[in-house]
Amino acid sequence: AQKITQTQPGMFVQEKEAVTLDCTYDTSDQSYGLFWYKQPSSGEMIFLIYQGSYDEQNATEGRYSLNFQKARKSANLVISASQLGDSAMYFCAMRVRTQGGSEKLVFGKGTKLTVNP
Amino acid sequence: EAQVTQNPRYLITVTGKKLTVTCSQNMNHEYMSWYRQDPGLGLRQIYYSMNVEVTDKGDVPEGYKVSRKEKRNFPLILESPSPNQTSLYFCASSQVQGLRQYFGPGTRLTVL
């Protein structure tokens, strides 16, 4: 079954420190994509970073990096130098093929990150 | 500005009263999708559409209908809403086989 698992319901980090949010995935597809989205309290879904299954290097976007370990089927998000504005829900998602030949995103249940001053 | 818009943003209604949540994108994307978000469950796909007149069920389609008569629009229809459809709904779009889905701002629906 295509599944995303986020084992940390909540995480706390001190401002300016780095934090890692865990994500493991399960798929039998060879080609897939992994995403992280941020959802602040206002509710919108903000795209952070993407990693393709064939990408050899870990993706980075500013303070965000994705620690992609294909053999372990993990795609952890690393946020460096945390800021108070990073407090939000974070969702890991995987792009998978459907039986109908289309694609969809499968989401994890999310991790609530709180950055303390 | 590239965006996905949804209306209404907030809606309180009563059981059985038909409603439509509109979704529109201005990026000429072929793929559009509806999700619902419930506490502790993450986002689950309701329906998706690969192009005009092509729609298919997602993981939780019961109680919902969609249509795709134009490329830019993908309305979500609740013919007879029930309280278990109280949720936060997101519309999203992307290029087919694209790298990311662009999300609308969300519609918070309460069914009494």
Q: Transcribe A32-53 into DSSP letters.
A: -EEEEEEE-TT---EEEEEEET
- Averaged pLDDT of chain A: 93
- Residues B60, B66, B70: CA angle, nearest 5 degrees: 140
**What are the helix and strand counts (H, E) for chain A?**
0, 12
Per-residue pLDDT of A55-98, as tens digits, reads 989 999 999 999 999 999 999 999 999 999 999 999 999 998 87
Question: What pLDDT score does A20 carry?
Answer: 98
Per-residue pLDDT of B75-106, as tens digits, reads 999 999 999 999 999 999 998 656 688 999 99
> Would you call A109 and B40 a contact, using CB atoms and an 8 Å cutoff?
yes
CB-based contact B12:B112 (threshold 8 Å): yes
Rounded CA gap, B86 and B12, in Å? 9
Question: What pLDDT score does A103 carry?
Answer: 77
Chain B residue with CA closest to A42: the answer is: B105
> Would you call A35 and B41 a contact, using CB atoms and an 8 Å cutoff?
no
CB-based contact B82:B62 (threshold 8 Å): no
Q: How near does any CA of chain A get to the CA of B28, in Å?
A: 17
Chain B residues touching residue A48 (CB < 8 angstroms): none
Q: Is A50 exposed, middle or buried (0-12, 13-18, 19+ CB in 10 A)?
A: middle
Per-residue pLDDT of B6-57, as tens digits, reads 999 999 999 999 999 999 999 999 999 999 999 888 899 999 998 899 899 9
Q: For strand A111-116 and strand A10-14, is the pairing parallel, antiparallel, or unpaired?
A: parallel
